Structure 1
Amino acid sequence: MSTDKKIRIWFNRSFAVGYHYIQAVRNNEDGLQFEIYGSHRDPEHVSLLSCDYTEVEPVLTGDEYAEYCLDFCRRHEIEVFVPRWGMRYVVAAAEQFAQMGVKLVCCTDAQLLDEIEDKGNFFRSADEQQLMVVPEYEVVHTAEQFKAAYERIEAKGLRVCFKPTRMEGGVGFRVINNESDPLEDLFSTVSARVTFDHVYRTLSSVETFPELMVMELLEGPEYSIDCLASPEGELLAAIPRRKNGGRSRLLEHNEELLAIAARVASFYRIPYNYNLQLIYQGDTPKALEINPRMSGGLHMSCLTGINFPYLAVKMALGYPVEVQQPEYGLLTTYVEQPLVMQREHTEQPQA
């Protein structure tokens, strides 16, 4: 498959782990050659160190950001675009990218993205289709709704937490803990714990607020399942990655979770790389969220012998990719790697 022609590929604004994913594409097992373009608002962002060409992104959102992306592809004759930031805006312009001949390595079904990126919509869908067990939850947007949801869930003997329905990672996540000591909290590390009274008083200061999901706190082992699927949604690989304390992650052959991944793939048919998050409550894995993109820990799942970022790009280019055979049972971790970003060229003192 090796070719002398370099394929022009663009990775837009991403997290620091984008450095690893770009390197995975560059150092692919097929010897396919890429000219790699990267952009970010921060001109010193680490992900840009792995690119051949870099550009500082303007501060834009919505249609304006989509226009910037289209213009970037025109100016640099980009053939493959791997969007991370602003994916929703990019997908809204998917037809224009297709007309330019640009392959998008992401889910281009805007309706599906809306369904799964909103945690409330995802929980409803997953429950209705019996894809997995969802936690006790309610979606609220007034203080009184919040109070009723909290009391209902707590009455079942469950601890309660809440988070926005449309945020990534742990942004806005809080755990209700009425036994917290304000003075102790002040002198300890920053915590997600808050009292019900404090939250209720704050929410009562406005008539309505952006949707919050009030739900049972899941307290067992937490798993991320990194998935690779064909453009038609066929599941080609799934790696259950268990948080094992500290930075260690166990890449585990878990039949229960692999069956969930298979059901999710069959129903949603999300292409390329995506990630499921579940937490056990007792013996039952319960849904947390689904992310239609490369996860922050995908580089550890690549240790199973599957080059997740590259295989997604390979499929977008039209090459066949077979069902993968990962090596499970790996206990993994990660370390920081020092990198030189720039050298100042100064004259050395004479001996």
Structure 2
Amino acid sequence: MKKRIWFNRTFSTAYHFIDMIRTNPDGLDFEFYVTHPKRYSVMLQNADVAEIEPSLPIPEYIEYCVQFCQKHQIDIFFPNYRLVEIAKHIGRFEQVGTSVLVCKDADLLETVSDKGKLFQALRDTPGLHIPDYFIVNTSEQFKIAYEKLREKGHKVCFKPASGEGGAGFHIIEEHMNPLDKLLGSSNQTIAIDEVLSIIGDQTVDDIMVMEYLDDWEYSIDCLATEEELIAIVPRKKVEGRIRLLEDNQALIDLAKAVHEQLRLPYLFNVQVKYKNGVPKLLEINPRASGGLHSSCLSGVNFPYLAVKLLLSGKVEVAAPKFGVYATHIEKEIVLRQLL
């Protein structure tokens, strides 16, 4: 009998996750349910059953999720959206017979999702380097943080403490010609005076002001139980869309140190960036990363193994293949119309 898997709203590259689970080496059959609020999301095109997902307040969204699982007899929920809230109500999903591919510790997920709390929790972790940073809420605090980082010789950047990916990320310049900003190639650069003017007298949500890390960036994709880190693949951003799966022992050890401290299960991703030869933590995603399909070129089928781990509690993983360079090209997909 086919196992039913549901993906709620997620990024387009999860399209590959469905293919990797479908073509699993054990020959297991799955039926895929996908929901997304955007009618033309490519994720809906790779589903056996696709529905438009409503935009709801948190309590109502959780109710929607539970009812969806119950109505469609979902065996495995592979969430990307609202992880913390889903973890808080994990018992409700279990009551309707659905296993959820998420860390059950909602407090831990809240910590990991807030960079300020995360850095504080990991500050004494052996072998892990945290960038110099400050958490601020006012323009005065921002100015003080900026000046202290500059006194240490740092170029300065900032982003929302609870932001995801590159949303809200900016690099600060002392002075900028407004015309350069208007016509320049980067929209991530901003003058300090402009930042302070925009914040003004407001008190804003936590902003992380930190040293800018200007060297190689890596994503480290991991598969784990709470007790054991099973697979680790460091993925280097070489240039543009080029990625390298690299046998980097320093980053493998770093991932082990993070897991030893946090004990995140299933899929998680550690992002680091180098400065002066030292890898420093950027963030941790307690879920499948958007680029996980590239790390699967190592021979480790991360999405399927995570599902198998959820169902059986154990998996066997071959040693990953490193030294793989990869990229991707655009491919057209004709969209079937959804009701």
Same fold (TM over 0.5): yes
**Counterpart in the other structure of 1:260:** 254
Contact conserved, 2:125 with 2:257, CA < 8 A, in 1? no
Letter in 1 for 2:107: Q
Contact conserved, 1:161 with 1:215, CA < 8 A, in 2? yes
1:163 to 150, 153, 159: 159
Distance 2:198 2:8 in 1: 37
**Counterpart in the other structure of 1:184:** 180
1:11 to 7, 12, 16: 7
Moved more, 190-199 or 133-142: 190-199
- The question of 1:224 aligning with 2:235 is answered no
- The question of 1:139 aligning with 2:99 is answered no
Contact conserved, 2:160 with 2:205, CA < 8 A, in 1? yes
Distance 2:308 2:109 in 1: 22
- The question of 1:326 aligning with 2:320 is answered yes
2:38 to 42, 67, 71: 42
1:76 to 72, 75, 78: 72
- The question of 1:214 aligning with 2:209 is answered yes
Q: SS in structure 1 opposite 2:312?
A: coil
**Counterpart in the other structure of 1:193:** 189
**Counterpart in the other structure of 1:349:** none
Distance 1:320 1:275 in 2: 20
Moved more, 210-219 or 260-269: 260-269
Distance 1:47 1:178 in 2: 43
Instruction: Trace 1:244-259 onto structure 2 (pairs within 5 A).
Output: 244-259=238-253
Letter in 1 for 2:234: P
Displacement after TM superposition at 1:61 (Å): 2.8
- The two structures have a TM-score, normalised by structure 2, of 0.97
**Counterpart in the other structure of 2:333:** 339
Displacement after TM superposition at 1:296 (Å): 0.9
For each residue in 1:147-206, what CA deviation from the matched residue of structure 2 results, as whole angstroms up to 9, or x when unmatched? 111000001111001111001011111111124221122122351111111111222231
Q: SS in structure 2 opposite 1:162?
A: strand
Distance 1:321 1:46 in 2: 30
Displacement after TM superposition at 1:233 (Å): 4.0
For structure 2, which runs of at least 5 residues remain unmatched after alignment?
Answer: none
Distance 1:225 1:274 in 2: 8
Distance 1:329 1:256 in 2: 16
Displacement after TM superposition at 1:26 (Å): 1.1
Distance 1:260 1:189 in 2: 34
Distance 2:87 2:224 in 1: 18
1:306 to 290, 300, 307: 300
2:276 to 251, 265, 282: 282
**Counterpart in the other structure of 1:152:** 148
Q: SS in structure 2 opposite 1:170?
A: coil
2:17 to 21, 24, 30: 21
1:66 to 62, 65, 68: 62
Distance 1:43 1:140 in 2: 38
Distance 1:187 1:112 in 2: 43
Displacement after TM superposition at 1:308 (Å): 0.4
Q: SS in structure 1 opposite 2:9?
A: coil
Structure 1 runs (4+) deviating above 4 angstroms are none
Q: SS in structure 2 opposite 1:302?
A: helix
Contact conserved, 1:275 with 1:291, CA < 8 A, in 2? yes
Displacement after TM superposition at 1:23 (Å): 1.2
Q: SS in structure 2 opposite 1:151?
A: helix
Q: SS in structure 2 opposite 1:128?
A: coil
**Counterpart in the other structure of 1:104:** 100
Give the count of matched residue pairs: 337
Distance 2:94 2:287 in 1: 20
Distance 1:116 1:233 in 2: 18
Letter in 2 for 1:322: E
Displacement after TM superposition at 1:106 (Å): 1.2
Contact conserved, 1:161 with 1:176, CA < 8 A, in 2? yes
Contact conserved, 2:33 with 2:50, CA < 8 A, in 1? yes
Contact conserved, 2:271 with 2:281, CA < 8 A, in 1? yes
Across the aligned residues of Structure 1 and Structure 2, the Cα RMSD in angstroms comes to 1.3
Contact conserved, 1:235 with 1:323, CA < 8 A, in 2? no
Alignment identity in percent? 45
Contact conserved, 1:65 with 1:89, CA < 8 A, in 2? no
Moved more, 126-135 or 106-115: 126-135
